A and B are shown apart, each in its own frame.
Chain A
Amino acid sequence: MLWVAVTLVFFALRVLPGDAVLTTHRNSSPQQLETIRTELGLTQPLSVQYGGYLLQLAQGDLGISLTSYQPVTKVIAVRLVPTLALGLSAFGVATTLGMLLGVISSLGGWLGRFADMAILFSQAVPFYITAIVAVIIFSVELQWLPASGSSSPVHLILPAATLGFHTSGSIARVLSANLREAYQQPYMLTAQAKGLPPIDLFDHAFRIALLPTLSVLALQAGFLLSSTVIVEVMFSRRGVGSLLYQSVLDRDYPVVQALTLLGASTYLAANGVSQLARRQLDPRL
């Protein structure tokens, strides 16, 4: 699966117009450009480049960045920590908030309607709008939190909170719908008839409703991953997302290739984990 993904990216990047060498060496003569291309192996036929790339990949070598001339693994490694921190904290916020909103929404009443509104807001409003508003309130007006940068954990609060909030909506929606459905199952009536306290009833329903929610969690991991690009550009954070944005602009193939590969494998891994967790929760699967 990963191999198909790798191949797609490799050829797509080379078929599409744009030239890394031209972008980075605007002032060089045609001869100089030619030498640089030869050095980087860009003049060889595509099949040779592809073969060489696969061989390197098998050895864990991701190539050399066309703009900074450093090994891609090194370029990415430096940027990985801030993005991981952002992704994981946003995921934490999303899961906690999503579960909370989902449960409250399933209870109904005015509190439930309020939760429904929050869910709707989280899904329908693009997250960069909330980000703008949050920056205005907390950074410009109140001056509590820094608006941009990635040097300290405090810088993490605004981006992680906005991103997490906008991820929580889908989680809450699915959880709420499934909780309501679970409460209408016949075994819930049995449990109620036995005189179980509400908290045990909730435990019954929650376990069942959690199953479909887990697959949504995995899907949302993919959404988070790609949203970090926009978030990092907006909050000018140094991270994998802003690196991708810059590398795409510079046509830095090896870096883009490595990053898409990273994105795809993270996504597949998240899916795998959710499958395992589902089996743990429901022995029937």
Chain B
Amino acid sequence: MKLPVIALLCLLFMMVIAPYLATHDPIHAESGHELESYSHEHWFGTDRLGRDVWSRFVVGGQRTLSSALLATLIATGGGLLLGSLGNFGPLQSIIRLLIDALLAFPAILLALVIRTLLEGNLLTLALAVGVANLATYSRVTMDALQVAQHQPYIEGARSIGASQWRLVTRHIIPAALPTLASFGAVVFAWSLLYASALAFLGLGGDPTQPDWGIMLQQGQGTIVQAPRLVILPASALALSVWLAYAVADTYSISIRKRSSRL
């Protein structure tokens, strides 16, 4: 296991145990304690409404990361299905047409439209972001499978009488896997960016619940007095996105190593 992969897993683990890391109720506003600085009681101070920043940060991270993760699952799951159907099934040409038509819509635009039309909670946010990235992932799946399909060793396996099932499960899928995993990590990075952007625009669902995007939006007004309100979620978001890109890079390096060995 490479370092970025471990780091990303740690981050996701922290997401799971987030409620235990929080020191206060993230939505409880303590009047008289607005915009307090760092203290033993409130590690990162309090926000405009007297809410504990650290608790909002960890619980908000849970929401942001889990919606991005869910969106990634939707995009990769649907993309794998559509991409394989576009490559193997009887409906190939129709599926390809559909993918290309979906690709013509810029992703953020698509996410925005879907998100505003569906009344909001975390699930619809993830759905909107997931569907927005679905076409791109389908396209990548299709290309990866196609490249894998036309390798000489596939022809070799076929000529010694391997069944279609064996070809697909033992040769084509393993060959396409690094590309798919690498691009899956990229989709996770995009999902984080889109999900937090939508939350930032006020389309993230319940505005009282913390979320890194919402924290950024709410901290925007007091950035001069309390820059930590923006810096904390912003750097966490940037770190997560960077980790996801780094994971994608480790996979693509392993692809390059393998192809240079051939």
Contact = CB atoms under 8 A, between A and B. Distances in A.
Contacts of A123: 241, 245
B100 A8 contact: no
Interface string B92-118: 000001101110111111101110111
A5 B104 contact: yes
A129 B230 contact: yes
A142 interface: no
Contacts of B98: 4
A129 B234 contact: yes
Q: Is the interface of A mostly helix, strand, loop or mixed?
A: helix
A189 interface: no
B109 A126 contact: no
A260 B101 contact: no
B119 interface: yes
Interface in A121-143: 121, 123-126, 128-129, 132-133, 136, 140-141
B201 A13 contact: no
B112 A248 contact: yes
A256 B113 contact: yes
B216 interface: yes
Given A5-B105, A126-B193, A264-B104, A132 B238 contact: no
Given A126-B196, A140-B224, A132 B216 contact: yes
A199 interface: no
A267 interface: yes
B197 A128 contact: yes
Nearest to B119: A17
B237 interface: yes
Interface residues of B, number: 37
Contacts, number: 107
B3 interface: no
A233 B238 CA distance: 22
A227 B112 CA distance: 11
Interface stretch (A34-42, A218-226, A273-281): A218-226
Contacts of B109: 225-226, 229, 244, 260, 263
A31 to B, nearest CB: 27
Given A124-B245, A245-B112, A132 B220 contact: yes
Nearest to B200: A128
A169 to B, nearest CB: 10
Given A136-B224, A229-B112, A245-B112, A263 B101 contact: no
B242 interface: yes
Interface residues of A, number: 41
Contacts of A268: 104
A124 B185 CA distance: 13
A141 B225 CA distance: 12
A230 B197 contact: yes
A250 B97 CA distance: 31
Given A244-B109, A264-B104, A18 B117 contact: yes
Contact of B101 (A1, A13, A140, A233): A1
A85 interface: no
B223 interface: yes
Contacts of A1: 97, 100-101, 104
Contacts of B220: 132
Given A126-B197, A126-B237, A233-B201, A8 B101 contact: yes
Nearest to A241: B109
A141 B242 CA distance: 30
A229 B108 contact: yes
A267 B110 CA distance: 13
B201 A230 contact: yes
A124 B112 contact: no
Contacts of B114: 16
B108 A227 contact: yes
Contacts of B223: 132-133, 136
Interface in A97-146: 120-121, 123-126, 128-129, 132-133, 136, 140-141
Nearest to A233: B201
B118 to A, nearest CB: 7
Contacts of B118: 16-17
Contacts of B101: 1, 4-5, 8
Nearest to B113: A248
Interface in B200-246: 200-201, 216, 220, 223-224, 230, 234, 237-239, 241-242, 245
A249 interface: yes
Nearest to A221: B106
A132 B114 CA distance: 26
Given A123-B245, A125-B238, A128-B216, A249 B116 contact: yes
Interface of B: 97-98, 100-102, 104-110, 112-114, 116-119, 189, 193, 196-197, 200-201, 216, 220, 223-224, 230, 234, 237-239, 241-242, 245
Given A126-B238, A132-B220, A230-B201, 12 more contacts: A1-B100, A8-B102, A124-B189, A124-B239, A126-B193, A126-B237, A129-B230, A129-B234, A133-B223, A140-B224, A263-B109, A267-B105
